[in-house]
Chains A and B, each alone.
Chain A
Amino acid sequence: MKPMSSVVRTITKLLLGPIFLFGAYIILHGHLTPGGGFQGGAIIATVMTLVLIAFGTRVWKKNILSFIESTGLLAFVGLGFLGLGSGFFLFNFLAGSDSLFFGKVIEPVTGEFAGWPANSAPLLSGGTVPLLNLFVGMEVVAALTLIIITMGLFAFDGKEGE
């Protein structure tokens, strides 16, 4: 696929940041608001596709993308296995602990423990759930981009990309 005109490329550069930010927001707030890893990942994948169309299929390296995909999946399952240490597969072992940002909900002013995370909890809560969302997001971004690249190769010349 050849790069498109400079109009398209300029608009793409302008849109790239906001869409990426929106996708990242959906992923990181997955445990608080509707959305999550898959939805946010799909949004970020649209940025990747936009870049692909504007700048050509050589922009993204397939090797790196498939590496990210595998790593995301592996980290997800690995986190599930870590839960075994405190009981069961996928056990939320970070919830309510002091060890990481994702543990207890801390009252912003007094710094005291403010109970279990609810729907309106701060961003840094939820134990392993935000991490799982992040890994799903990685996987979805990489996998959807790979699918688009493969389809693009079929649609156009079948030689570029590697």
Chain B
Amino acid sequence: MTFYNHLIEQAPAMVVAIPLLFAFATPLLFKFSAKFGKFWALLGVFATTVLMYVLAWDVLSEGGDVVNTYIFGAENTQLPLPGDNVVRISFAVDGMSAFMGLIMVTVSLAAIIYSISFVKKYTGNAKFFALMLLVLAANIGMVFTGDLFNLFVWFEVSSIALCGLTVFRSERGEAFEGAAKYLIYSTIAGLILLFSVGLLYGQYGHLNIKFLSEAIGGNAELLMVDKVALGLMMTVFALKAGAVPMHMATPDAYSEAPAPVTAIFVTASQAGLYAMFRMVFTLYGSNIHLTIDLLHAAGWIVIILGVVSMFVGVTMALVQKDIKRLMAYHAISQTGYMLLGVGVGMAVYATGGFDEFGRTAMTGGIFHIFNHAMYKGLLFLTAGAIIYKAGTRDLNKMGGLGRDMKLTALFFIIGALAISGIPPMNGFASKFLIYESVFKFNPIIGAIAMLVSLLTLASFVKVFYSAFMGPRMKEMARGEVPAPMLMGMAVLAGIILVFSMAPSLVVRSLVDPAVNALTGDGGTTSTSLTLFTGHGAWNAVVFMGAMISATIIAVMIRSFFGKKGMTPREEGKKPYLFGNPTEIDGRPIVVPGSNLYWGFTKALDRYYKPVEKFHSGIINEYVFWFVSTLVLVLLVMLAWVR
């Protein structure tokens, strides 16, 4: 028992220190033996995962609003008082931090297992694994940090390490371009973050989030510095999360980075989301009578960013023909759901609407963070497997991979169903919470959210059709991907399946503590398997039962009344392509993936033309969009909030 107490006491620092130790030792060990180096990296991420799970279990079972603090280099865990004139680096782990930490370690574990065979054919494996562990440490640091300056430090560490990983395939010029865009974007954002931290430090003389929050709450009226600092920080973290006017570097970096890195990229962008929510709720939420208008304005800004991200992300994804780029735009679109859910929670925070639907919306938004990390990580890993075998990222040039890669196809289907919010997957459970509550908040936004899910499904149908169906392409490699890659995907797919079946238990044990840590609300979900929103209910087990019985009935009807004399195995031999013969003069006929929705995109030409012009590929223009968003947000903050 006493060992356990020691472990829990030291765990917040160890979860960051262990990946750092393993990361720095990895290049040394690779000099002796590459095999041992890989084993070492795997051991590091595994140790971190186990420790993080123990810590999360401890924090989440206490209900989430108990803060587990860790003061570096101190003699005890108590925070020095504001007057002590002691500058300490501190970690503060509550329900939300532990929730985010779980996401980081789980995706990193899957990604590093996957990388073992994925990066085998490239040089520079030592640096790759070292940087992967460094990103893990930086992401956990960003969600654990208890002071604003270290938030900036971890933000920069994460951005720079991810840049290094993006140029991993340095034989490609595009990799440098993507990394450079991401580097410029995140550096400018980082400097603006530093500036806003400086504003608050200049005004209040604290960097610690707890002290700062008390100082802001203790004011008689809201100062201009508070509003400006919040506006700057929100915009910066929206950029890190990839919200739409500032998403431009995201598709470039996501599509050029190797697949496991992209999966980690997703968690890094979610650390940005975490930081935004933490700033709004924890830093500005200590005296709600003072800041209620500010939170209302912030909530609306987040909602608008979310809706625009959802819509622009999904419509841009629909016209992509590069598989990773398509998925990158979907990552942007899904980020919109999280922003929307939590934004609704912010906008009605501490009003009557919060109890009615605001909390449900926030629960949905935060649950969606977890689901998104799992299924988007899985989808990026399957995209990596497809590219590994097909040798191309172009959807028009691949096909027939499902004949050899049955497991990968299965994992892809799981991920694609989850991201499209098809019941009974976990993506549906979180989107269900968002739909129901957002519809109550504003029916138009609720309708947009559903439309976006529909378009998401459409574009994943396109990917599945292009990559897995149709005749085998001659130049594609045969066979399934190596076992470590399958294992990496299986980890995430397994979690998705388990969480799909018992969403209410997940909400109760993981998401509720996180929401309580942010809002101090104290609400819980019922212990039953059914997820209630106040207006509707969702039970995956009942749904599965109904679906299975409906299938059995359909099969029975078919076997009793169906036409006899069919030979089921015969018709499956040739792929059915709109009734045409599959080959003409020995060459296979395929409808290119990018032509599937030709009619739809043609009809929306007047929307697509300006939006495509908006994605010019010029970083100067992208920075201009960032700065304009910053100015707009500041204007809203200063003009709207009294």
A interface residues, Cβ below 8 angstroms from B: 63, 66-67, 69-71, 73-74, 77-78, 80-81, 83-84, 87-92
Contact = CB atoms under 8 A, between A and B. Distances in A.
Given A77-B20, A80-B17, A81-B17, A88 B27 contact: no
B22 to A, nearest CB: 9
B180 to A, nearest CB: 14
A81 B10 CA distance: 11
A74 B25 contact: yes
B21 A67 contact: no
A60 B262 CA distance: 35
Contacts of A67: 28, 31
Nearest to A66: B27
Contacts of B17: 77, 80-81, 89
B75 A87 contact: yes
B25 A88 contact: no
Interface string B11-32: 0011001001100110110010
B73 interface: yes
Contact of B71 (A74, A78, A88, A92): A88
27 contacts: A63-B31, A67-B28, A67-B31, A70-B25, A70-B27, A71-B28, A74-B24, A74-B25, A74-B28, A77-B17, A77-B20, A77-B24, A81-B17, A87-B74, A87-B75, A88-B10, A88-B70, A88-B73, A88-B74, A89-B10, A89-B13, A89-B17, A89-B70, A89-B72, A89-B73, A90-B72, A90-B73
Given A77-B17, A87-B74, 10 more contacts: A70-B27, A77-B20, A88-B70, A88-B72, A88-B74, A89-B14, A89-B17, A89-B73, A90-B72, A91-B73
Given A88-B75, A89-B72, A70 B24 contact: yes
Interface in B70-86: 70-75
A88 B13 contact: yes
A73 B17 CA distance: 12
Nearest to A71: B28
Contacts of B27: 66, 69-70
Given A77-B20, A84-B10, A70 B72 contact: no
A90 B12 CA distance: 13
Interface in B34-57: none
Nearest to A83: B73
A63 B28 CA distance: 10
Interface of B: 10, 13-14, 17, 20-21, 24-25, 27-28, 31, 70-75
B32 to A, nearest CB: 12
A66 B25 CA distance: 11
B18 to A, nearest CB: 9
Contacts of A78: 21
A73 B27 CA distance: 11
A88 B11 CA distance: 11
Contacts of B72: 88-90
Contacts of A74: 21, 24-25, 28
A83 B13 CA distance: 12
Contacts of A73: 24
A91 B71 CA distance: 10
Closest 8 interchain pairs by CB?
A73-B24, A89-B13, A90-B73, A74-B24, A77-B21, A70-B28, A70-B27, A90-B72
Contacts of B73: 83, 88-92
Contacts of B20: 77
Nearest to A128: B73
B52 to A, nearest CB: 16
Nearest to B130: A70
Nearest to B72: A90
Nearest to B27: A70
Contacts of B28: 67, 70-71, 74
Contacts of A63: 31
A92 B73 CA distance: 6
Contacts of B31: 63, 67
A71 B26 CA distance: 11
A30 B21 CA distance: 24
Given A67-B28, A70-B28, A88-B13, A81 B21 contact: yes
Contacts of B10: 84, 88-89
Contacts of B25: 70, 74
Contacts of B74: 87-88, 91
Nearest to A127: B73
B5 to A, nearest CB: 14
A39 to B, nearest CB: 17
A66 B27 CA distance: 8
Contacts of A92: 73
A5 B573 CA distance: 75
B41 to A, nearest CB: 14
A87 B70 CA distance: 11
A74 B21 CA distance: 6
B123 to A, nearest CB: 12
A149 to B, nearest CB: 15
Choose among A77, A89, A91 the residue with the greatest number of B CB atoms under 10 Å from its CB: A89
A70 B24 CA distance: 6
Nearest to A84: B10
A80 B71 CA distance: 13
A67 B26 CA distance: 11
A77 B134 CA distance: 13
A73 B71 CA distance: 21
A52 B24 CA distance: 26
